[in-house]
């Protein structure tokens, strides 16, 4: 992905390992086999052929013959230029598109002509719609001609059976905009996408089935995939190359060779695509270790890596011979872990092309220089970057305790046993995907509380409203203070996110996934409050009575709110939460994400399109210690930097 936040984001690329012009090694983000020079020779040969035909005209002078031959040559070149120039194409001119993207020995062909792929990833669901075109123009200015994107199932079908392809999820508009801006598309529809995305893009409601086997031909999974593809494919099929659209290739699943639990699964996904009208070149995508296990007949295998190591592309040649060598993912960032440093790599090896806010990095200009030399013609000028604003200090002047919100805003579920987040009866029986769940029960006395490792992922423990401690993967037991009479034991459980990669996808249920014991007796008879904090919840929070002035010192959990007044056209900014401990920030109902004082990240990116002239409401859910102000600054603070070789 070109716009890179803090996770392991990627810049898709196609490359080769043949020697060109005395230089050996891969060309990052460049795949052409050996076709570029051959294409130019072929065009000149065709021109000479037409000129020879012109010389055989029976009448007219030499000047007429030269003029006629030159006109024919110019016409041929004009047609070729228009055929491969998306900015000029409209459906009425899309005649003669029959062959699509093909492979021939070591090169790609498009409509029978050698074709280079200069690709970069841009994920529409990670960029505000208002900035889609800006990022695409920057891709063009970098020298790219192809955009790759995933399709996140868990955003398009958040509630089972209800599909959303509108606003920031308008895939058709995104793909059409790519075509308008002269970019071909390699579509990566999953169903699993990895993408450093919650559960690899799979909907959490799949985990309601206790026997669920994700990414296999298990009936419960394939039935859900079929229903999803039945809605997705009618959107993308008309946008394929052979039907006049920008999609030149479609990827079958994603990195399945690293999972490989079902030998029949990849063939199933391939059939699911073909049977619904996919006609373009199919591809697979795996790291070196997974290449041989992720193959499916009829699909071109491509490779992913962080750094080119000796033998990677040669190994790809042993998996499939006489095919172009293509790097689908040349990773451009890596994981930052809570409490760790912010990792930075040298731009000559490994770095993002754009920042999360769309600003250029040194990598952009290095690649632009490289691609310009390969292409042999000037590239478009890079667009101006968006201005960033520093709106200064923002006072959070009101607060309301979570305990005061519960009676008026949230109707609890009652259950004898603890229920995990995904199996709560809400969202049309699709359960809860994100956020927090509060489990409340009555105890008599204190003693030894033991989670038996059934907390996913972190629980703050309260007796009545008094904070006692935390339970997580590392801390599984606490001592509860003794007290008189019956008291409320409350466990506020945070879902920190489901893993996106690896063999543990089926074990990603959140909340309390089993019994918690007090003095070796399992707790029973719960009231369970869902705190998913969706936009409707945040909107209703505004109307709750009980908001009051923030005292000099207050300990959460609580909601805090303030207002940012903007006089002129809103601009991008970054919110810095120095003095706050841990929580989530919402601006005008948009969830900006988590903050945590342990870092490394110290600011949250706030896109200008999410702001408005005049009043902008900021709401913070703080788990523990709150500050009084937050700062709007014009540069990001990503924490203590550690350079990696």
Q: Give the domain CATH number at 230.
A: 3.20.20.80
> Across residues 67-87, what is the average pLDDT?
39
Residue 139 has pLDDT above 80, yes or no: yes
Same domain, 359 and 434: no
Q: Choosing from 157, 196, 280, 329, which is the catalytic residue?
A: 329
> Across residues 107-119, what is the average pLDDT?
94
Same domain, 123 and 270: yes
The pLDDT of residue 431 is 98
- Going through 452-524 in order, the beta strands assigned E by DSSP cover 455-456, 458-463, 466-471, 477-480, 486-494, 511-512, 517-518, 521-522
Same domain, 238 and 147: yes
Q: How far apart are CA 636 and CA 605, in angstroms?
A: 7
Same domain, 151 and 216: yes
Average pLDDT, the chain: 86
Decide if 501 is inside a domain: yes
Same domain, 228 and 255: yes
Same domain, 592 and 469: no
The pLDDT of residue 306 is 86
The pLDDT of residue 589 is 95
Are 595 and 582 within 8 A, CB to CB?
Answer: yes
Nearest to 628 by CA among 391, 394, 390: 394
Is-catalytic flag, 329?
Answer: yes
Decide if 471 is inside a domain: yes
Decide if 607 is inside a domain: yes
Q: Which domain holds residue 430?
A: 417-524
Per-residue pLDDT of 193-209, as tens digits, reads 999 999 999 999 999 99
Same domain, 327 and 349: no
Decide if 174 is inside a domain: yes
Domains contained in the chain, number: 4
Residue 6 has pLDDT above 60, yes or no: no
Is-catalytic flag, 18?
Answer: no
Decide if 72 is inside a domain: no
Same domain, 247 and 323: yes
Per-residue pLDDT of 288-336, as tens digits, reads 999 999 999 999 999 999 888 888 999 999 999 999 999 999 987 778 9
- Going through 484-533 in order, the beta strands assigned E by DSSP cover 486-494, 511-512, 517-518, 521-522, 526-531
Residue 71 has pLDDT above 60, yes or no: no
Q: Choosing from 157, 196, 255, 356, which is the catalytic residue?
A: 255
CATH of the domain at 573: 2.60.120.260
User: Using 50, 70 and 90 to split pLDDT, how confident is the model at 351?
Assistant: confident
| Residue in this structure with the two tokens 């010192």, named with its chain if needed | 553
Helical ranges in 262-401 per DSSP H: 265-274, 312-319, 362-375
Instruction: Return the minimum-mean-pLDDT range out of 58-67, 230-239, 246-255, 373-382.
Output: 58-67
Decide if 87 is inside a domain: no
Per-residue pLDDT of 522-558, as tens digits, reads 999 999 999 999 999 999 998 899 999 999 888 899 9
Q: Which of 492, 524, 556 is where one domain is finished?
A: 524
Same domain, 422 and 569: no
Same domain, 511 and 428: yes
Per-residue pLDDT of 266-296, as tens digits, reads 999 999 999 999 999 999 999 999 999 999 9
Give percent of the chain with pLDDT exceeding 90.
Answer: 77
Q: How far apart are CA 21 and CA 285, in angstroms?
A: 29
484 - beta bridge partners? none
Same domain, 552 and 460: no
Same domain, 274 and 190: yes
Helical ranges in 162-301 per DSSP H: 171-180, 219-236, 265-274
Residue 132 has pLDDT above 60, yes or no: yes
Per-residue pLDDT of 402-432, as tens digits, reads 999 998 888 999 999 999 999 999 999 999 9
Q: What is the pTM of this model?
A: 0.86
Per-residue pLDDT of 353-362, as tens digits, reads 999 999 999 9
User: Using 50, 70 and 90 to split pLDDT, how confident is the model at 95?
Assistant: low
State the maximum Cα–Cα separation within the chain, in Å, rounded to a whole number.
115
The pLDDT of residue 23 is 29
> Across residues 56-65, what is the average pLDDT?
33
Decide if 6 is inside a domain: no
Decide if 616 is inside a domain: yes
């Amino acid at each position: 992905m070109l716009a890179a936040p803090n996770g392991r984001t990627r810049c898709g690329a196609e490359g080769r390992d043949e020697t060109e012009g005395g230089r050996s090694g891969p060309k990052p983000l460049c795949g052409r086999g050996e076709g570029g020079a051959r294409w130019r020779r072929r065009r000149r040969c065709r021109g000479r052929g037409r000129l020879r035909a012109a010389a055989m005209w029976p009448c007219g002078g030499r000047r007429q013959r030269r003029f006629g031959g030159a006109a024919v040559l110019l016409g041929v070149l004009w047609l070729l230029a228009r055929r491969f120039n998306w900015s000029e194409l409209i459906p009425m001119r899309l005649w003669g598109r029959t062959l699509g993207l093909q492979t021939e020995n070591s090169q790609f062909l498009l409509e029978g002509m050698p074709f280079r792929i200069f690709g970069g990833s841009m994920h529409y669901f990670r960029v505000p719609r208002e900035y889609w075109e800006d990022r695409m123009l920057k891709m063009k200015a970098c020298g790219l001609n192809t955009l790759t994107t995933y399709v996140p199932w868990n955003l398009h079908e958040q509630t089972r059976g209800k599909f959303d392809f509108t606003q920031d999820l308008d895939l058709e508009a995104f793909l059409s905009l790519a075509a308008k801006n002269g970019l071909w598309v390699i579509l990566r529809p999953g169903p699993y996408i990895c993408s450093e995305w919650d559960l690899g893009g799979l909907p959490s409601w799949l985990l309601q089935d206790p026997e669920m086997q994700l990414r296999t031909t298990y009936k419960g999974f394939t039935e859900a995939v079929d229903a999803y593809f039945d809605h997705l494919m009618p959107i993308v099929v008309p946008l394929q190359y052979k039907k006049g659209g920008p999609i030149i290739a479609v990827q079958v699943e994603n990195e399945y060779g690293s999972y490989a639990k079902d030998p029949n699964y990849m063939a199933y996904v391939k059939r699911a695509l073909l049977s619904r009208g996919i006609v373009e070149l199919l591809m697979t995508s795996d790291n070196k270790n997974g290449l041989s296990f992720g193959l499916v007949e009829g699909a071109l295998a491509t490779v992913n890596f962080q750094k080119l190591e000796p033998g990677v592309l040669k190994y790809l040649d042993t998996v499939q011979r006489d095919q172009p060598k293509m790097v689908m993912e040349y990773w451009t960032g890596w994981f930052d872990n809570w409490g760790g440093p912010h990792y930075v790599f040298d731009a000559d090896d490994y770095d993002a092309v754009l920042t999360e806010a769309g600003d250029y990095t040194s990598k952009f200009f290095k690649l632009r220089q490289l691609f310009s030399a390969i292409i042999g013609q000037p590239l478009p000028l890079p667009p101006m970057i968006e201005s960033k604003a520093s709106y200064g200090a923002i006072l959070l002047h009101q607060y309301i305790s979570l305990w005061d919100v519960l009676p008026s805003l949230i109707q609890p579920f009652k259950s004898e046993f603890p229920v995990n987040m995904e199996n709560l009866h809400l969202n049309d029986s699709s359960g809860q995907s994100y956020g927090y769940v509060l489990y409340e029960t009555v105890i008599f006395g204190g003693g030894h509380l033991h989670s038996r490792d059934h907390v996913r992922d972190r629980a703050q423990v309260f007796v009545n409203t008094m904070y006692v401690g935390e339970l997580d993967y590392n801390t599984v037991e606490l001592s509860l203070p003794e007290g008189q009479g019956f008291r409320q034991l409350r466990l506020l459980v945070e879902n920190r996110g489901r893993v996106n990669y690896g063999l543990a996808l089926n074990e990603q249920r959140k909340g309390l996934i089993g019994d918690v014991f007090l003095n070796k007796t399992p707790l029973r008879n719960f009231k369970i409050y869902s705190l998913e904090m969706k936009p409707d919840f945040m909107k209703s929070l505004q109307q709750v009575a009980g908001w009051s002035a923030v005292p000099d010192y207050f300990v959460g959990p609580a909601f805090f709110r303030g207002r940012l007044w903007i006089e002129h056209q809103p601009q991008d900014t970054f919110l810095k939460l120095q003095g706050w401990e841990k929580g989530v920030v919402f601006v005008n109902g948009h969830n900006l994400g988590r903050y945590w004082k342990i870092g490394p990240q110290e600011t949250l990116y706030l896109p200008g399109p999410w702001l408005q002239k005049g009043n902008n409401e900021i709401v913070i859910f703080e788990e523990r210690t709150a500050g009084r102000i937050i700062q709007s600054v014009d540069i990001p603070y990503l924490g203590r930097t550690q350079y990696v070789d």
